[in-house]
Amino acid sequence: MSKKLIKSGLIVSVMTLISRVLGLVRDVVIANVMGAGVMADVFLFANKIPNFFRRLFAEGAFAQAFVPVLSEYHTKDEANAENSKGLALPLRNPSDNSSGSYPKDNLEETRRLIAQVSGTLGVIITLVTLFGMLASPLFVILFGGGWFVEWFNHGPESVGGEKFELAASLLKITFPYLWFISFTALAGAVLNTMGKFAVAAFTPVLLNIAIILMAIYGADYTQSPAHALAWGVFLGGFIQFVFQIPFLYKANVLVKPRWAWHSKGVTKIRKLILPALFGVSVTQINLLLDTLIASFLITGSISWLYYADRLLEFPLGLFGIGIATVVLPSLSKLHSKNDPQQFTATLDWGIKVISLFGWPALAGLMVLAQPIIMVLFMRGEFSQHDVLQVSMALFAYLSGLLSFMFIKVLAPGYYARQDTKTPVKIGIKAMVANMAFNLALAPFFGYVGLAIATTMSATLNAWLLYRGLKQAQVYHLSKNTKIFIGKLVLAASVMALVVYQLSPNFDVWLSMAFFDQILQLILCISIGCLSYFLMIFLLGVRLNDFKVKS
């Protein structure tokens, strides 16, 4: 189990690394073309709304409800296939091509469930997508209230009025992305459950490529750079959707969708998805609430939060989401096989791996935040002022990096056991706390206050998830795991001191030529990584610490 998890985790992490690197390239291009001004704020807003629904209907609540049920069906199919091998079946003529009493394949139940779910989900997603395109101004009113108020009071010529009308226009282009990505996520969940992690992990690369190409070449053929980027989102969604079809066919799970609202499998998923839907929406509502409040703040607030979040998402996606992608199907199968000991060991493995990479990522980004932002974004429309503003938001987000990562590993401990209600209750508490933190901090700290509030609520969420698993006697941090994490924290602290001594101050970074900045940054990161891994080796951390013990 341990080797399989490590192999799968490495595959997902490598593919995710490629995607995240291209994601950073995409953000560099966006920063160069639009900076952190009006068009940047509006495009990022128009991209956030369909992504909000994506978390609900695709990668978030849907995956958390669908994967455990699909794993259950797939495990049952595998068991039936194994049993059929031991049956004393009658001899048949080799020239007889009929299947006789032999099983046609070992995916009968799995294929039926995929057909029912894809057909049912397809109808719902189509209706939501059409409504989103037709009612795009309504979504801008709901989530960009500050722009609507200015449009209503001062007309379309005002800055807020311009943002309102542009956002409504862009949403009509970006909303179909929801349709494409929902089926992409469904296909990815199916392939992940069957142990084929590379395809789904690589797919987001195609979205980044589409946006980059449209940003560079599409502006001459559209109304504005923001419209070009919106069409990049549309095109990227379509390419991702088409890309996975051959792999589904090869795995013998490409089926004809059919409506099956009352079927056994869909009914079970519906019961699981309702609380999961609310649970995932808690986090997304918090993010949209941040966007709503930011629409009342100075121009650039949404963009500064976005760029800071993107840098946070790099380690979070590479390690947190990468490990969670592998852990959920594994935990679901272990629950189906009624193996609580391995279930606990797998969760512990996830926590250790997250900690191994999370602590140095936190320490390194804290020390090198401004140089990294400078090297990546400070060109074109992106100014030195924007570097400082983004770095302040990033510092706030980074204080919760490990909390965000732990949530990604701890939450599957509930979903794999088909318990979607407990995370919802925890999520409600975190959402209420986030709202309170927002209202308390935003008036004093502006957009940075929104980032601090997000971090505080995520930390509360992670703690409550862990406490729930501990009380249910599903998982708790053992003394050995606590000592292990302590060693990693010490090593990361030493690494931070080493990198801090190597890194020049902000003014020196500014005076460097771009090529010199890159070389200095590579030197700091390389020596930082070397010092970290040397320290954990000296502290006694070994590969055996990551074995999933039976």
Got the DSSP string for 259-315?
Answer: --TTSHHHHHHHHHHHHHHHHHHHHHHHHHHHHHHHTTS-TTHHHHHHHHHHHHHHH
Nearest residue to 229 (alpha-carbon basis) of 75, 380, 40, 381: 40
CB 20 within 8 A of CB 319: no
- Residue 403 pLDDT: 92
221 DSSP 8-state letter = G
CA distance 434 to 289: 9
Nearest residue to 63 (alpha-carbon basis) of 335, 206, 276: 276
Q: Does 532 score more than 80 pLDDT?
A: yes
Range from 216-225, 291-300, 467-476 carrying the lowest mean pLDDT: 291-300
CB-facing half-sphere around the CA of 398: CA atoms within 13 A: 22
Domain boundaries, the chain: 2-79+105-477
CB 491 within 8 A of CB 472: no
Q: Does 495 score more than 50 pLDDT?
A: yes
Between residues 285 and 83, which one has the greater pLDDT? 285
Between residues 467 and 106, which one has the greater pLDDT? 467
Mean pLDDT, to the nearest integer, of 521-537? 94
Tell me the three state secondary structure of residue 90.
coil
Please, what is the end-to-end C-alpha distance for the chain in angstroms?
Answer: 9
Q: Does 504 score more than 80 pLDDT?
A: yes
Mean pLDDT, to the nearest integer, of 362-384? 88
Q: Percent of the chain at pLDDT above 70? A: 87
Q: What is the pLDDT of residues 376-390, one digit of tens each?
A: 888 777 888 889 999
Range from 17-21, 213-217, 341-345 carrying the lowest mean pLDDT: 17-21
- Output the average pLDDT for the chain: 82
* Tokens read off for 24: 């950073």
Mean pLDDT, to the nearest integer, of 79-108? 48
Residue type present at position 498: V
CA distances from 144 to 137, 160, 173, 289 (A): 10, 10, 17, 9
Residue type present at position 159: V
Range from 78-92, 295-309, 392-406, 511-525 carrying the lowest mean pLDDT: 78-92
Q: What is the pLDDT of residues 425-458, one digit of tens each?
A: 888 888 889 889 988 998 889 899 999 999 999 9
CA distance 246 to 249: 5
CB-facing half-sphere around the CA of 179: CA atoms within 13 A: 21
Nearest residue to 331 (alpha-carbon basis) of 474, 186, 463: 474
Give burial (CB, 10 Å; 0-12/13-18/19+) of 105: exposed
Nearest residue to 264 (alpha-carbon basis) of 122, 73, 415, 104: 73
- Residue 295 pLDDT: 76
- Residue 48 pLDDT: 82
- Residue 530 pLDDT: 96
- Residue 255 pLDDT: 87
Q: Does 354 score more than 80 pLDDT?
A: yes
- Residue 92 pLDDT: 39
The string of DSSP letters for 346-366 reads HHHHHHHHHHHHHHHHHHHHH
- Residue 151 pLDDT: 84
CA geometry: angle 279, 173, 307, nearest 5 deg: 60
Q: Does 548 score more than 70 pLDDT?
A: no
